[in-house]
Every structure is written in C-alpha cells, then in structure tokens.
Amino acid sequence: MADNILEMRGITKEFPAVKALDNVNFAVKRGSIHALVGENGAGKSTLMNVLSGLYPYGTYTGDIVYEGEVCRFSKIKDSENKGIVIIHQELALVPYMSIGENMFLGNEQGRKFAIDWGKTHAEATKYLKIVGLAEPSTTLIKDIGVGKQQMVEIAKALAKNARLLVLDEPTSSLNEADSQALLDLLLEFKKQGMSSIIISHKINEVAYVADDITILRDGKTIETLTKGKDDFSEERIIRGMVGREIEDRFPKRHGVKIGDVSLEVEHWNVYHPIYTEKKVIDDVSFSVRSGEVVGFSGLMGAGRTELAMSIFGRSYGTSISGTVKIHGKEVKLHSPRQAIEAGLAYVTEDRKGSGLILSNPLTVNTTLANLHGVTVRGVIDRDKELSVAEQYRKKLSTKTPSVMQNVGNLSGGNQQKVLLSKWMYAEPDILIMDEPTRGIDVGAKYEIYCIINDLVAEGKSVIMISSELPEVLGMCDRIYVLNEGRIVGEFDQEEASQEKIMARIISSDSAEKEKEQ
C-alpha cells in the first residue's frame, strides 16, 4: 500500500434536504500535491470542512485517517494541532494589522498577558523568507497587494507547523504572474516533503502542479487521475467534472453585425482617491462598437476595474479628466444614476460585496437599478415587480425555488445571473462586465457566455474585463491590454494570443523600469 498521509474513507455528510457528500473516498500520498476539482456544489469545500473539523465528528459518517490513526476532530484547532491547515478562498487577514501580527493571530508568541513582539517579528521574518516575501513583517496588510497577502496566508500556515496544507482556490484573485509564483512555491514545498491539497477551478494550473487529481461530482468521487498514468489534458478533466464533453468552451456568435462606435473614451486620467498624488489611469483612450465584445486584459492592479468604475459615474478616483462620448455625443457622468441614464451598466466583479443584496429576494435585486420600471409615481407595483423577476429568471434560466428566495441562498453561478438580470432590466446599451465568470463553474460559465452573445446580437456593446486569458481570447472581438494604468496594446481576435498579450505586459514593464533608471 502506498504511504498515505491522509485517507478519507466513505465520508457521507447530509444537510437538511441535501446529501452534500455521498460515500466519498479520498487519499493523499505523503509528499505529493493532490488536486480536488469539480463544479460548484460538487462538495469540495464541504469535504475540506469535514477534514478541518468545522463540521465536527459525529455530524458526518465515515473515517478520517491521518498519519495512520483515525481522527475525530471536534473543532478547527484540533486539526491544526495535528498539522492540517486550511487556507480559505476569502483571505482572512486584518487590514490594519501588520503582517507579523496577522501571522500569529490566535497563536500569539510569548505569554498570555505579555506578547513577545520581538519573537513575533523574528519568527514572522523567518517564514516570510521561506515564501519569498521581502516585505518587513511590520508592514500593514492593507498596504500590500492580494498576491502578497496570499503569500502571507501561506507563511501563516507554515508558522502553525503545517504538514498538510489545504488551499481553497488560492489563485482565484491572483494575476498570472502571482499565480505562477504561488504554484512554484507549492512545488518547492513538495521537494521538502510537504503534502498539499489544492482546490481550483483553473484546470491548467491543476494539471501543472498536481500529482493526483480527484474529481468530485454531485457529492461523489468520480475518479482519481495520477500523473504519468492518466491523461491530464483539460478536455479529459472537464469531461470528468461535468460528465460530458464540452466540445467548445466558448459558444460561437453567428451573424452578429458590428455597427457604429457606441462608446468612446478619450484621454481619461484618474487619480487614487486616498493617495491623490498617484495616477491610477494614465491617458487612456478606447472605443467600443455596437454588437462588439471588447476585452480588457491585464494583471491584477493594472487599473481595469478602476477604469471601468471611474467611467461609470465617477464611482472611483479623484481629479478625473477626459471625455466620454456615447453614440458620438459627449456626456458628463457624475453619478451612477447619470451613467445608467446614458445607457451604461457596470456589472461588478464583487457580486457579494457590491453587486447584490444577499439578504433580499430575487425580486428586489432584479429591479434595484431600474425601480422606476415597476413604479407609478413613487409607488411600487409589487405584482409587476414579481412578474419582471420571473421573466428574467426564465430568460437566464436561473435555478431557484422561487423569485422570493433570498439571493444569498443561491450558488455563485446563479447569483451572477441575478446580477446580470439586474443590469439587463436597466436596459443599457453598453455593459461593462467585470470578471463575469469569477468563481463559477464550467457549466455556468458557458451559460454566461451565451448571455453575452445574446446581448451583442441585440446590438448592445459588451466590455469584458477578465483575468482569464483563454476567456478573453475565446470571447472578445477586440482586446485592449492594460498595464499600470495605461493601454499598452490592442489586438484583434485573429492576431491575439496568450503569449502576445503577456509579452506586451512584460515589455511595457521593463520599458517603465528603464525610464525610471
């Protein structure tokens, strides 16, 4: 028998009304990287929550065998003491505390009533070095980027003497370069004998880093693929996840006519809202035509979201200058209301934080940006609102028991559809979609792509901001490349490729550095 650090045998976990895990078997070899993949709702996170003790022993059936002994964790601390550390998708760091303070939060160095700050920072520095972070441990979390924050999370896990590291979607908010660095770090750890479990939607990353891949579907283990023995191609893995072949991940657009310029932005400059000296967007000009899908590609922090939000009624930034023309006419957009009235919509990247009211039903969320559509002289026609919500639920085939359901209870993909419903009901001409498929599964992504195609077929324009290059390449007629607040490249669909886009970003970076010197 292989030397397994962890075995989960016959795990079954039921929630009221649903069986989240159904007799799942899962084994991690010592010193290997094991990937766990599956669509949203397949049970990956539930399985890890069982492992960590968040769902304590007794609430599930089956055995967890770790280091050869059966474990019965009743709380997270129990599993952490054994060296199983989970890094969750949402980073759990306190912005106004330093890196060192964060790393030892709940694990303070020194005595209970006398924290030893010298030791704290010395230890922190030691682990930061391991993950390759040069930042002093006294830097505040809010002052470092998401990529570095993710590294701090890993350093924090190491500080807990992790022997089995579990990473839940570690790269979902990272750009390509940071993702690569993180994956390489995992490979480095593997060399030193660390075992890891990685949950990810990004199949190319999984194939790159994993030794074994276990595929979950509908709460069941479908199969485990092993490197060198099985095929690790994207098609093979996706087939396992969805139970069918997806021949084409991006639906074709047929006969969509690209018309006149609908949105034209010229010499757009934006400064940072707090550090008002810092230029976030630097002399950006671009245009979008009706019936066209235009992509904005770039690394995290390149200024894509900032560009979109500053155009959308100055929702971001200060000292904004430049002109916006819609259908050839210059418009002044000083508030989201004006932007919406001019025919713009901004579908946020952060659907939970700034897109939806999770505690409210689909009805309220669907009409929020266009409440006037269901009101007569300031009075809401509830029945009309209900039928509007119902209409969009059908149109986008949102899966929900009813439109009176609170959107917080829906899956990520369905929440995204509700967010789209809201903006479609506002009847814009130009939709800016910021990371429209972040954190949703393959099937739901395909549906979102179809909706985008329907929108441009109606003659609308779509601006798509995305960190996933294949998606930008597969969906967009034209692609702008943004780096450090400037447009550094523009490609047509035919000429664009992942390599060309990355090359453009890197060359502009080095050009910048030369200039500084």
Partner 1 sequence: MTTKTKILNFVQKYTMIIALVLVTAFFTWRTGGKILMPQNITNIISQNAYVFVLATGMLCCILTGGNIDLSVGSVVCFVGTIGAVLMNKNLNMWLAVIIMLLVGVAIGAWQAFWIAYVKVPPFITTLAGMLIFRGLSNVVLEGKTMAVTNEAFVKIFGGGADCYVPDLFNGSNLNLLCLIVGIIACLLYLFFTVRNIAARKRTGLETDAAYKVAVKSVIIVAVVMFFTVRLAQYKGLPMALIWVAAVILIYTYITSKTTVGRYLYAIGGNETATKLSGINTKSIYFFAYTNMGFLAGLAGILTIARLTSAQPTYGQNYEMDAIGSCFIGGASAYGGVGTVPGVIIGALLMGIINIGMSIMGVDANYQKVVKGLVLLAAVIFDVVSKKKNG
308 binds partner 1 (CB under 8 A): no
Contact at 8 Å (CB) between 364 and 357? yes
Give, to the nearest 10 degrees, the angle between helix 442-457 and helix 412-425. 10
Q: How far is the CB of 408 from partner 1 (least distance, A)?
A: 8
Q: How far is the CB of 343 from partner 1 (least distance, A)?
A: 12
CA distances, 116 to each of 113, 124, 160, 260 (Å): 10, 12, 17, 66
Q: How far is the CB of 334 from partner 1 (least distance, A)?
A: 11
382 binds partner 1 (CB under 8 A): yes
Q: 479-490 as b/e, with b when 16 or more CB fall inside 10 Å?
A: bbbbbbbbbbbe
348 binds partner 1 (CB under 8 A): yes
312 binds partner 1 (CB under 8 A): yes
Q: How far is the CB of 388 from partner 1 (least distance, A)?
A: 12
> In terms of C-beta density within 10 A (0-12 exposed, 13-18 middle, 19 or more buried), how is residue 282 classed?
middle
Q: How far is the CB of 339 from partner 1 (least distance, A)?
A: 7
- Give Cβ neighbours of residue 23 (< 8 Å, ≥ 6 apart): 10, 11, 12, 62, 220, 221
378 binds partner 1 (CB under 8 A): yes
355 binds partner 1 (CB under 8 A): yes
CA distances, 146 to each of 74, 150, 498, 514 (Å): 32, 6, 23, 26
353 binds partner 1 (CB under 8 A): yes
**Binding-site member from 131, 166, 194, 339 for partner 1 (CB under 8 A):** 339
Its sign, for the CA torsion 413, 184, 468, 486, is positive
Q: How far is the CB of 294 from partner 1 (least distance, A)?
A: 21
**Binding-site member from 41, 291, 303, 313 for partner 1 (CB under 8 A):** 313
CA–CA gap between residue 480 and residue 179 (Å, rounded): 22
CA–CA gap between residue 420 and residue 432 (Å, rounded): 11
Residues 250-279 that bind partner 1 (CB under 8 A): none
| Rounded CA Rg of the chain | 24
> In terms of C-beta density within 10 A (0-12 exposed, 13-18 middle, 19 or more buried), how is residue 392 classed?
buried
383 binds partner 1 (CB under 8 A): yes
Of the candidate spans 89-97, 160-168, 307-315, 489-497, the one that interacts with partner 1 by CB under 8 A turns out to be 307-315
**Binding-site member from 36, 84, 386, 431 for partner 1 (CB under 8 A):** 386
Q: How far is the CB of 16 from partner 1 (least distance, A)?
A: 9
**Binding-site member from 86, 128, 270, 369 for partner 1 (CB under 8 A):** 369
CA distances, 314 to each of 273, 288, 419 (Å): 11, 19, 21
Task: List helix spans (H) across 160-277.
Answer: 176-191, 203-209, 234-242
Contact at 8 Å (CB) between 481 and 488? yes
Give, to the nearest 10 degrees, the angle between helix 146-159 and helix 176-191. 20
Contact at 8 Å (CB) between 291 and 258? yes
Residues 420-449 that bind partner 1 (CB under 8 A): 422, 426
Task: State whether residue 21 is helix, strand or coil.
Answer: strand
**Binding-site member from 40, 89, 269, 375 for partner 1 (CB under 8 A):** 375
Of the candidate spans 36-44, 65-73, 264-272, 308-316, the one that interacts with partner 1 by CB under 8 A turns out to be 308-316
Task: List helix spans (H) across 286-355.
Answer: 304-311, 336-341
Of the candidate spans 111-119, 354-362, 470-478, 501-509, the one that interacts with partner 1 by CB under 8 A turns out to be 354-362
54 binds partner 1 (CB under 8 A): no
2 binds partner 1 (CB under 8 A): no
Q: Give the DSSP H/E element, type plus range, for residue 46.
A: helix 44-52
Nearest residue (CB) to partner 1, 278 versus 337? 337
**Binding-site member from 227, 257, 334, 372 for partner 1 (CB under 8 A):** 372
Of the candidate spans 122-130, 154-162, 341-349, 447-455, the one that interacts with partner 1 by CB under 8 A turns out to be 341-349
465 binds partner 1 (CB under 8 A): no
Of the candidate spans 52-60, 205-213, 279-287, 383-391, the one that interacts with partner 1 by CB under 8 A turns out to be 383-391
End-to-end CA distance of the chain: 59
387 binds partner 1 (CB under 8 A): yes
CA distances, 171 to each of 42, 87, 168, 178, 203 (Å): 19, 11, 9, 8, 12
335 binds partner 1 (CB under 8 A): yes
**Binding-site member from 233, 360, 397, 498 for partner 1 (CB under 8 A):** 360
**Binding-site member from 28, 128, 302, 364 for partner 1 (CB under 8 A):** 364
315 binds partner 1 (CB under 8 A): yes
Q: What angle do CA 88, 82, 181 make, to 5 degrees?
A: 40
* Total chain residues near partner 1 (CB under 8 A): 35
Q: Which amino acid is at 494?
A: E
CA–CA gap between residue 297 and residue 284 (Å, rounded): 14
Nearest residue (CB) to partner 1, 313 versus 317? 313
Nearest residue (CB) to partner 1, 18 versus 105? 18
**Binding-site member from 251, 273, 336, 459 for partner 1 (CB under 8 A):** 336
- Interacting residues with partner 1 (CB under 8 A): 312-313, 315, 335-337, 339-341, 346, 348, 353-360, 364, 368-369, 371-372, 375, 378-380, 382-384, 386-387, 422, 426
